[in-house]
Amino acid sequence: MIQTESILTIVDNSGAKDARCIYVLPGFKRRYAYTGNTIVAVIKSIKSKRKSISKVKKSELSRLIMIRGKFKKQTKDGSFLNFAENAGVLVNKQNKLIASRIMGPVTKTLKNSKHMKVTSLSGGFI
């Protein structure tokens, strides 16, 4: 579960490294974000030293789609699924990906949701 002030790792090639959650969308009285939800985050650090390479800037507000979470989630067959980090990918206001690659696997819940582009660019499913 991601809430405000949670730290996330960015796992695409947009140039961002870490982000901090500010707001969970869609908004009114929504406290937690799960896999597949969109959040508003601020970029905390950049991967490359050259700022001309990265597609985003430090301290910039952007939207993120959650693809992995540290929290335990029970699947339909009764097993539990969790990852080592909270991870997301950057999108613009029209929910189109900023980057062209996604590192690591994504969950199968994204396959059934409206984020088919994220699942097609990822390494695999878990």
Q: What is the pLDDT of residue 125?
A: 66
E-assigned strand segments in 1-126: 7-10, 16-24, 38-46, 61-68, 73-74, 80-81, 87-91
Please state, in angstroms and rounded to a whole number, the distance separating the CA atoms of residues 21 and 33. 10
The pTM for the full model equals: 0.85
Sequence-ordered list of residues with C-beta below 8 angstroms from that of 5, at least 6 positions apart, any chain:
20, 21
Tokens of 92: 């613009």
In this structure, the number of other CB atoms found within 10 A of the CB of residue 120 comes to 9
Cα angle: 108, vertex 89, 112; to 5 degrees: 25
Instruction: Label residue 5 left, alpha or beta by phi (over 0 means left) and psi (-120 to 50 means alpha).
Output: left
Backbone angles phi, psi at 51, to 5 degrees: -75, -15
Domains, in order of start, for the chain: 7-99 (2.40.150.20)
Lowest mean pLDDT among 17-21, 24-28, 56-60, 112-116: 112-116
Please write the tens of the pLDDT for every residue from 47-61.
876 667 778 888 899
Q: What is the pLDDT of residue 89?
A: 94
